[in-house]
Amino acid sequence: MTLPFFPEDLFDDDREVLLDVVERIGRSPEQKFILGDHVARFEAEIRDSIGAADAIACGSGTSALLLVLRAMGVGPGDEVIVPAFGCAPLAAAPALLGATPVFADIDPWTMVVDPGAVARAVTPRTKVIMPAHLFSVMADMPALRRIAASTGVRLLEDSAVAQGGTLAGIPAGMWGDAGVYSFVQVKTFGMPGEGGMVVTGDPGLGEVVRMLRNHGQDGKTRFRYHRVGYNSRFDEIMAAFQLHRLPGFPRRLERRARIGEYYTGRFGELAGCGVLAPPPDRDGRCYYVYSLLCERRDELRGHLAKRGIGSHVYYRSPLPRQPAFEPFARPGDAWPVAELAARWALAIPIYPHLTDQQVEHIADAVCEFAKEP
Ligand SMILES: *Cc1c(COP(=O)(O)O)cnc(C)c1O
């Protein structure tokens, strides 16, 4: 592949900085490797940049979801409404707490959860609505917030892929009672390691999450456990590295947005030829992954591969069709749109260091495929 879907050179520009950070923290007299000053500064920077009451760095995006659900008191007998199309942690986080993930179908164009399906899935046992932003489009948060408010259910925004995005002026992560980010390598603010963050406008919820991430301790008295917690702490070396990378993040996001907008402009005319691009708009976009819908998906994938262009299939099956989550599906439930997305979605490269020429080459290849007789 000359243009791999997952590029290996994401951190090349910052390799010296990474080595320097390892050296500096590794040799520092205090020998503090987790939850030190760098983590506190990193949390403060993110918190202030989005106007949150608290930001809590933790072990991963998955862990962030789990911590929030636990802090919200989710447990056996509770239902958590999640999209039928998405990644494992959406279903696993409620399930690991003994709650039931209830799967709602998605919108056929944007592929994010359909608010109508969410509203229909609410029962007296529903404790949390957990939409996820997917690929390049944010979920319909205004509608979901109205549903949560009118039913008295809490709203957890899985904004793992949408850090830096905004919808109607509100940053991704700030639409619900809490939001989460993920810093795993491939995400828009990824890093060379595992990490995540909980952001919230509710200081009380933040305080509980803060305790849960470090064995239920309050950060003042060591070995005093107020709650049954987890080990989901954050690394000082990674925090220092992310503090260095933070100022460049808006520029990299903007580059992603430009590439996405270029694609959407080029692909607008392909809708009648079996290749559907995401709806054109700047508001409520995050440009983590650029996903097309194509009936002849595997052929398109082969066509691109022959031209040296990597692509990726997210996700080959709806969540309730996965062996692990099938037991949670209720008889009679169906997710026809999620089934189609699983057959048709194909993601093409959108990382910020693609050159204009490479982006054009990728767009040309997709257009050529759609227009060939
Ligand atoms: C990546 C991702 C997560 C999980 O984040 P990790 O840091 O990999 O645990 C959760 N939800 C969504 C929508 C994601 O894309």
pLDDT in tens, 188-232: 999 999 999 999 999 999 999 999 999 999 989 999 999 999 999
Residue ranges in the chain whose pLDDT is less than 50: none
Counting ligand 1 atoms within 8 A of each CB, the residue from 182, 186, 238 with the most, and so the one to mutate, is: 182
Pocket lining: 184 vs ligand 1, CB cutoff 6 Å: yes
Domain coordinates in residue numbering, the chain: 12-105+112-247, 249-371
Pocket lining: 89 vs ligand 1, CB cutoff 6 Å: yes
* pLDDT in the model for residue 270: 95
Helix axes 88-96, 61-71, angle to 10 degrees: 40
B/e letters for 107-132, b = 16+ CB within 10 Å, e = fewer, are beebbbbbbebbbebbeeebbbbbbb
* pLDDT in the model for residue 362: 98
Q: Rounded to the nearest whole angstrom, what is the distance from the C-alpha of residue 371 to the centroid of ligand 1?
A: 35
* pLDDT in the model for residue 98: 98
One of 3.10.20.30, 3.40.50.300, 3.40.640.10, 3.40.1530.20 is the CATH number of 12-105+112-247, namely 3.40.640.10
Architecture of the domain made up of 249-371: Alpha-Beta Complex (3.90)
Q: Where are the beta strands (DSSP E) in the chain?
A: 54-58, 79-83, 100-104, 126-129, 154-157, 166-167, 170-171, 178-182, 196-200, 275-276, 290-294, 345-348
Distance in angstroms (rounded) separating the CA atoms of residues 153 and 127: 5
B/e letters for 285-315, b = 16+ CB within 10 Å, e = fewer, are bbbbbbbbbbeebeebbebbeebebbbbbbb
Q: ∠99-184-137 over CA atoms, to 5°? A: 75
| Count of residues making up the chain | 373
Cα 6–chain centre separation: 16
What is the sign of the dihedral through the CA atoms of 341, 345, 351 and 355? Answer: negative
* pLDDT in the model for residue 373: 72
Pair 202, 23: CB distance under 8 Å: no
Counting ligand 1 atoms within 8 A of each CB, the residue from 161, 181, 235 with the most, and so the one to mutate, is: 161
* pLDDT in the model for residue 47: 98
For ligand 1, atom 11, name the residue with the nearest CA.
160
Q: Which residues contact 217 (CB under 8 A, 6 or more apart)?
A: 211, 223, 224, 225, 226, 229
Q: Rounded to the nearest whole angstrom, what is the distance from the C-alpha of residue 367 to the centroid of ligand 1?
A: 31
Distance in angstroms (rounded) separating the CA atoms of residues 133 and 113: 9
Enclosing H/E stretch for 279: none
Supply the pTM of this predicted model: 0.97
Q: Rounded to the nearest whole angstrom, what is the distance from the C-alpha of residue 109 to the centroid of ligand 1?
A: 22
Ligand 1 atom, smallest distance to 186 CA: 1
Pair 166, 294: CB distance under 8 Å: no
- Half-sphere exposure of 137 toward its Cβ, with a 13 Å CA cutoff? 20
* pLDDT in the model for residue 51: 98
Ligand 1 atom, smallest distance to 196 CA: 7
* pLDDT in the model for residue 372: 86
Ligand 1 atom, smallest distance to 64 CA: 9
* pLDDT in the model for residue 347: 98
The two domains 12-105+112-247 and 249-371 share their CATH topology (first three levels equal):
no
For ligand 1, atom 5, name the residue with the nearest CA.
61
